[in-house]
């Protein structure tokens, strides 16, 4: 059973020529039933940020600590 999360950056982050802002929130659905969307290497989060904002999560050296998340279902 999948879970739906709203993921929002906590603050502005500028790293390696990329910019992440709190306005760049996303809604992701995890493939497996987990309590944390970052538990599987943030795979869905990385894909969603690239698709919606052309933002490279790995290039920006992002981690779980840069985000707040809330379960929606």
Res 69: pLDDT: 96
Q: Is 53 exposed, middle or buried (0-12, 13-18, 19+ CB in 10 A)?
A: middle
Res 51: pLDDT: 97
Res 62: pLDDT: 94
Contact between 55 and 20 under an 8 Å Cβ cutoff? The reply is yes
Separation of alpha carbons 55 and 34, rounded Å = 24
In order along its 73 residues, the chain shows pLDDT tens digits of 789 999 999 999 999 999 999 999 999 999 888 889 998 899 999 999 999 999 999 999 999 999 999 999 8
21 CB-near residues (< 8 Å, 6+ apart) = 9, 12
């Amino acid at each position: 059973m999948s879970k739906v999360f709203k993921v929002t950056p906590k603050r502005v982050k500028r790293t390696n020529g990329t910019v992440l802002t709190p306005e760049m929130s996303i809604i992701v659905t995890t493939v497996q039933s987990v309590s944390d969307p970052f538990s599987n290497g943030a795979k869905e989060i990385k894909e969603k940020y690239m698709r919606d904002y052309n933002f490279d999560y790995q290039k920006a050296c992002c981690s779980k600590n840069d985000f707040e998340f809330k379960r929606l279902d």
